[in-house]
Structure 1
Amino acid sequence: MKKDLNVDCNTKKEEQQKKSDVTAVGDSQLAAIVQPLLSWYDTHARVLPWREHPAPYRVWVSEIMLQQTRVEAVKPYFERFMTALPTIRDLAEAPEDVILKLWEGLGYYNRVRNMQKAARKLVAEYDGQMPADFDAILALPGIGSYTAGAIASIAFGLPYPAVDGNVLRVLSRIEKSYDDILKQSVKRHFEQEIKAVIPTDRAGDFSQSLIELGAIVCVPNGAPKCGECPLAALCQAHRDGVETELPKKTPPKSRRIEDKTVLVLVSDNQAALRKRPAKGLLAGLYELPNLEGHLNSEQVLDYVKAEGLSAIRIQELPAAKHIFSHIEWHMAGYVVKVEEPEQQENDASDSHDSPGKLFFVEKQQMEETYSIPAAFAAYTEYFKHRY
């Protein structure tokens, strides 16, 4: 019996040693990527407006904008936002309609709403400055571990990891990891590994170098450019020819299809808008009037009449589609020319803030004042170009 116990103990020790060896190899491997990656970044980093002057506020704005949006698409939005709201205090004090208009086209409007909440907290608690403290940054509304790590490392040089989808892809391939990168436990594991090897003298550059490598070399949706990768000799997935199998992630759930009929109600140089409800999808934004289902022209004219408008003519518009994260809109469209609506007795601005109530605006107002989601772009562009 004692002999069996000794065998069991020896077996457990061997298993523990193997685990320690694997961990040691992993740590050693990641430590080995630091210098070649930084050397590559020094000569290959893209010139981006937020990198030219990486102040905390600029880093923060850019990182929120870059979530699920391409770098080239973000550049003009970033410049416009920083020109209009150059400081945290400016963001905190701006009317909501202003920040939503500045964000128009980027989608996910709750992100900029959370930015304003965070800005107000920074004004109240930190005199309008971003604190050089990872935990304090993480505690701000709308900021998760990635954004907090990016601000802490890039703006303040603090050794905290910034692990986004690009970094998860790079690390999965380097370590030939088949773990599901959508699991928070897997992300935390990689964050811990990166934190252990971040060079304290170049924390920001290291964070950006990993993100950059994933963005332009170790790319998604196709074969990575291993011939251009400074880490190819250290990459286990490349060594074994399984680069395109990684990373692993849970397949997304199928989107719910919703049919809509979108109306461009025009009178001279004006079109009808209405405000969406304060909660739910695209909360509090302005939209072209739309109805559930795909309606025919007679049903549309019935709606127009019920709204107290007199139709002059109706024309069907091309179908359009817009994809949200969990919903897909399939839209039919009509342009309906109506007689000039009667002037409202109350102040027009009051009706603009009433969800579901139609009001008419001129083309210039639509372009400059009202934040209309990109979901309606096909139909707002029709109005802008035809009227």
Structure 2
Amino acid sequence: MHTEYHRIPLTADIVRGALELERTERGVLPHRLPAHARSRCDDGQLAMAEAQPSGVRLAFRSRATAIEIDAVRTKRVYVGVPPRPDGVYDLVVDGRLTAQCSVTGGDVLTIDMTAGTVRTRRGPAGTVRFADLPAGLKNIEIWLPHNETTELVALRTDAPVEPGSARDRRVWLHHGSSISHGSNAEHPTGTWPALAAALGGVELINLGMSGSALLDPFTARTMRDTPADLISVKIGINVVNADLMRLRAFGPAVHGFLDTIRDGHPDAPLLVASAIYCPIHEDTPGPGAFDAHALSAGEVRFRATGDPAERAAGKLTLGVVREELARIVEQRATEDRRLYYLDGRDLYGENDFGELPLPDALHPDPATHRRIGERFAKRIFAAGGPFSER
């Protein structure tokens, strides 16, 4: 039986969680940093991370029972490492995960970590199709793959749509590292921020960016200028494993980052969270590096290459960062009554590592993402927490 589809414009009313939609020759590319922020840094890792649509979803109300999305993915292939799983599209109907699908075709990015080279091969768009949705008017969200750059070419439904009703929910703006981005999560609603947002009943804007939670001023200005009711920043692992600054620079950089956010959000609850437990960097500075022995065996693992003795010269470890963050928040909180601190080990600590070790020594697995998300919601969104409804 032939299905008659309506082509739905891909606008900001439909594409949620992105801060900018770039019109390309093939369609629409969601960005999690706007152009003025992207122009302030030409780092390739940041460019890849911000264009991966973690937390970005198509959201609308409709009686549709069939939906099609044409999209061009960018799939990363690492030389000498087993293929990464395909990115996943999550279909959420009235708040319930209903179906999942992946797209074929697309561009391929081949990365040789040993040689330090990257090759790109362009490919065709693929189509994701969800069918047999329940009849009647419903809230529909399609979460885009959190770890694959996704150019949206077309959205088609077999019934008209209207923008979703989530605009009446509080907006939670979060910034963090690859763990907030969703590294090692199996699907987009399985990242810890997405899980916490669902439990907290809030609208998520996820600025978790792999390798890029580095207290960049352009990220702080982006957060300053983004409408939000609740704000959190998770600081620690990237400033340690990138080894970009010493303790003397770290404290003022944190103050400056928070000052900039407060310029645009003087009264919003603002949570500063430190890193989860990560043995390789608890007491050992960066830089972090790939474990060459593991790579030779086809596995991705990370290690710390610094010397613990270098802490005396101001090198950062997770322990040092946590102490400094707690001190800064305590100092500022005397004048900023809606500023809060969360020790990341309350979300995932040493005992958790014994039960659920980090598979690559750095990133949580899917079960750990769930644990972190549930604990964050319980501590932060629940009654009495910093983000509770008062």
Higher strand share: 2
TM class by smaller structure: under 0.3
Higher helix share: 1
